[in-house]
Copies of this chain bind each other. A is one copy, B any other.
Amino acid sequence: MAVTENEKVYFDSDYIAGAHPKVLARLAETNLEPLAGYGCDHYCDEAADKIRTACACPEAEVCFLTGGTQTNQIVISTMLAEYEGVVAAGTGHVSVHEAGAIEYTGHKVLELPAKDGKIEAGELRDFLENFYADGNHEHMVYPGMVYISYPTEYGTLYSKQELAEISRICGRYKIPLFIDGARLGYGLASKEADLTLPELAALCDVFYIGGTKVGALCGEAVVFTKNNMPKYFITQVKQHGALLAKGRLLGVQFDALFTDGLYMEISRHAIKMAELLKRIFREKGYEFFLESPTNQQFVILENQKMKELSQHVGFSFWEKYDEKHTVVRFATSWSTRAEDLEVLQAYL
């Protein structure tokens, strides 16, 4: 393929484009309809209904928030008691990349060692056992919730069995399991995923369905699966400065994403693009930093190659690998086109 000068393609992140055209169209169609504010409109209701159906969780309570850090902050701080912290992987988004948003609300992130972004059920069990075994824990932060991400920040996935074990441990200690699904679609659509949305919903106490990275302009749908939405939740959302006057912006978008299976359809597309991308890199002999079955791919580039490639292809720095190599991330999304991959291939 002949690559035109100046044609650059972008794999920098999964939030480089606006909304999926169908989502945008729905915003346009409904734009002038007069609606109640603060999430009390019928689009929010309908979107919540569709999500309950998709989760096979008819009793679930659904609330729409704007972004991922905001959702993590609000869910965690409203579900924890003051003396509790949240257990998370040391590499979890809440631990590292949210500017201390959890601590800002007064709660410690209790870090567990992570392997490829995941915590292990055994580590979690040992941590909880030791905590309560230690007679002195009155002077420590109580573990009040477990936070995991699906997929993780490294693109990896928990198996159904792994999730079930973590879920069982949480149940034994009566602490909720919270799944950060900022990229949930890209996890569920992966060939390696061995669980469905209803199965995931059944295994946790609260999770969110990421919209910002999966077809929306902004928006995350929080699902409380066990009739366990914190009391006066809307008031608490307001108290965090997170209640949109035009809640419709979120309701309409999620209504569109959960109509005719759009959410999973566009997620599958992103995964297909990621598989193609992997094949391209493999065929050219590149090495991966780790095996990711989802839309984020971590490739080890020789530094000079990285510099050259960056003229034509957008990607993001992840970490230094060694003196001569760097780990960089390529992300696909619903907006990635097969043509973009051809351009990438041409420059490798």
List residues of chain B with CB within 8 A of the CB of A109: 108
A27 in contact with B34 given A66-B244, A67-B241 (CB within 8 Å)? no
Question: Are B244 and A241 within 8 A (Cβ)?
Answer: no
A326 located at the interface, meaning its Cβ lies under 8 Å from any Cβ of chain B in the complex: no
- Residue A335 at the chain B interface, CB threshold 8 Å: yes
Q: Is the CB of B244 within 8 A of A139?
A: no
A98: chain B residues within 8 A (beta carbon): 139, 238-239, 241
Report yes or no: B138 in contact with A232, Cβ–Cβ below 8 A. Answer: yes
Cα distance, A239 to B84, chains bound together (Å): 10
Q: Of residues A72, A106, A142, which shows the largest number of chain B Cβ atoms within 10 Å of its Cβ?
A: A106
Indicate whether A70 reaches chain B with its CB closer than 8 angstroms: yes
Assess the A140–B97 pair: CB atoms within 8 A. Answer: yes
CB-CB under 8 A from A28, the residues of chain B are 24, 28
Give, as a whole number of angstroms, the nearest-CB distance from A26 to chain B: 11
* Chain B CB within 8 A of A249 CB: yes
- A96: Cβ under 8 A from any B Cβ: yes
A305 interface residue (CB < 8 Å to B): no
- Complex Cα distance, B17 from A10, in Å, reads 34
How many monomers of this protein are in the complex? 4
Given the interface pairs A104-B240, A217-B246, A239-B101, the reply to whether A140 lies near B96 with Cβ below 8 Å is yes
| A235 vs B85: C-alpha distance when bound (angstroms) | 13
Residues on B with beta carbons closer than 8 Å to the beta carbon of A33: 17-18
Q: List residues of A (1-28) whose CB comes within 8 Å of B's CBs.
A: 10, 12-13, 15-19, 21, 24, 27-28
CA of A30 to CA of B82, assembled, Å: 36
Complex Cα gap A291–B85 (Å): 33
Are B246 and A212 in contact, with the CB atoms below 8 A? Answer: yes
Across the interface, do B31 and A17 meet the contact criterion of CB distance under 8 Å? yes
What CA separation (Å) do A199 and B244 show in the bound complex? 30
What would 14 A/B residue contacts be, using CB atoms closer than 8 Å? A17-B34, A27-B217, A68-B245, A69-B238, A74-B241, A82-B236, A83-B231, A83-B239, A98-B139, A99-B138, A99-B238, A101-B241, A138-B238, A218-B244
Question: Which residues from chain A sit less than 8 Å from chain B, CB to CB?
Answer: 10, 12-13, 15-19, 21, 24, 27-28, 30-38, 66-74, 77-78, 81-83, 85, 96-101, 103-109, 111, 135-136, 138-142, 212-213, 217-218, 231-232, 234-236, 238-246, 248-249, 314, 317, 335
Q: Which 9 A-B pairs have the closest CB atoms?
A: A70-B241, A18-B31, A99-B238, A100-B141, A10-B34, A99-B239, A73-B241, A16-B34, A103-B108
